[in-house]
Amino acid sequence: MIIAMTLYTQVSHNIAKTWVLMALFFGVVIAIGFVFSQVYGDPGFLYIAVIFSVAMNIASYWFSDRIVLALHRAHQVDMRSHHELYRVLENLTIAAGLPMPRFYSIDDPSPNAFATGRNPKHAVVCVTSGLVQRLDRSELEGVLAHELSHIGNRDMLVSTVAVVLVGFISILSDMFMRSMWFGGMRSRDNDRGKAGALILVVGIVLSILAPLIASLIHLAISRRREFLADASGALLTRYPEGLASALKKIASSNQPLRTATNATAHLFLHNPFGADDGGLKKTPWVVKMFSTHPPIEERIAALMKVSVPAR
């Protein structure tokens, strides 16, 4: 019971960190909205930006599974073609109390996997042929449990909210900088005197730094969700060593996914562009800040600290 509580504590800790980051994200949005509205003296343009950004991202969220599967040329897996693999996913899905997701495969030697879809009833789990060839059953269970945990933890929703906010901030910053080029702010600045000039300077600084800050927070949220899925997957299989071993094998392959793209990189179990050093060396903090995934060595270390009773 005490050992199990260690796992639940890890899950709770990761959830708390994710929501702290989300609160910080909203704080950045509110600060930007306030400063820009002060500069313009009219908050009307904010509503247009919000509506456009939300509509664009809701559309991508609604059709995310179709878009991602098409981008990576995935094909559906059924009981006949992959009997054992299908059974593993089916058993884990039952244990997790989730609806059976659609199961897809990508013909690619790079070992990787991802989950997507707008909710558990419309979810997709996809693995590469390289993953199936390299991993044994317990390792495959660890990977599939990780992906099911993304579905169960509603990570698609969190990710979509983050993307909406990043898009919203980028649009505001772009609109502000364009207005500066056309000189639309000069008359207002002259009317307001020093206070107006100060607000204008703050607005310019925010318009330059805000997209970078928003992107960094988005990446931090993505990394926290990976830690959370690792811990939740360990709860599901009761065998953290399976996923840890799988991550070691995946990290030892520096072969990039042929269809890798920045737009979908955050969805995968591991960086689909590959790792130059095998992924097991200590990662510099600068690299961590701009990564969609936590360093493999940190994920393995977290999993190896967990001890659970034998299944």
pLDDT digits (tens, 9 = 90+) for 26-50: 666 666 666 666 666 666 555 655 5
Indicate if 147 belongs to the active site.
Answer: yes
Tokens 């559906």 map to which residue? 76
Indicate the pLDDT class of residue 11, thresholds 50, 70 and 90.
Answer: low
- At residue 84, the 3 state secondary structure works out as helix
Average pLDDT for residues 13-37, to the nearest whole number? 66
Indicate the pLDDT class of residue 230, thresholds 50, 70 and 90.
Answer: very high
Q: How far apart are CA 68 and CA 309, in angstroms?
A: 38
Residues above pLDDT 70, as percent of the chain: 54
Instruction: Provide the pLDDT for residue 290.
Output: 60
Indicate the pLDDT class of residue 277, thresholds 50, 70 and 90.
Answer: very low
Average pLDDT for residues 85-102, to the nearest whole number? 94
Q: Kindly give, in sequence order, each residue whose CB lies less than 8 Å from that of residue 61, ignoring residues fewer than 6 positions away.
A: 118, 156, 160
- pLDDT higher than threshold 60 for residue 192: no
Indicate the pLDDT class of residue 114, thresholds 50, 70 and 90.
Answer: very high
DSSP-assigned states of every residue in 12-51: HHHHHHHHHHHHHHHHHHHHHHHHHHHHHS-THHHHHHHH
Average pLDDT for residues 50-62, to the nearest whole number? 65
- pLDDT higher than threshold 90 for residue 8: no
More confident residue, 116 or 33: 116
CA triple 174-163-204, angle to 5 deg: 25
Instruction: Provide the pLDDT for residue 55.
Output: 67
- pLDDT higher than threshold 70 for residue 268: yes
Indicate the pLDDT class of residue 66, thresholds 50, 70 and 90.
Answer: confident
- pLDDT higher than threshold 80 for residue 82: yes
Average pLDDT for residues 122-137, to the nearest whole number? 95
Instruction: Provide the pLDDT for residue 255.
Output: 86
Q: How far apart are CA 232 and CA 222, in angstroms?
A: 15
Q: Kindly give, in sequence order, each residue whose CB lies less than 8 Å from that of residue 199, ignoring residues fewer than 6 positions away.
A: 35, 38, 39, 192
Q: What does the domain layout of the chain look like in residue ranges?
A: 13-63+163-211
In the chain the first and final C-alpha atoms are separated, in Å, by 14
- pLDDT higher than threshold 50 for residue 5: no
- pLDDT higher than threshold 90 for residue 191: no
- pLDDT higher than threshold 70 for residue 194: no
Instruction: Provide the pLDDT for residue 4.
Output: 44
More confident residue, 43 or 5: 43
Catalytic residue among 141, 147, 226, 241: 147
Q: How far apart are CA 270 and CA 8, in angstroms?
A: 23
Among 284-288, 290-294, 295-299, the range scoring the smallest mean pLDDT is: 284-288
Q: How far apart are CA 275 and CA 232, in angstroms?
A: 25
Instruction: Provide the pLDDT for residue 1.
Output: 40
Encoding tokens for residue 218? Answer: 């988005």
Q: How far apart are CA 284 and CA 307, in angstroms?
A: 28
DSSP-assigned states of every residue in 65-76: HHHHHHHTT-EE
Of 78, 75, 193, the residue nearest 128 (C-alpha): 75
Q: How far apart are CA 300 and CA 168, in angstroms?
A: 35
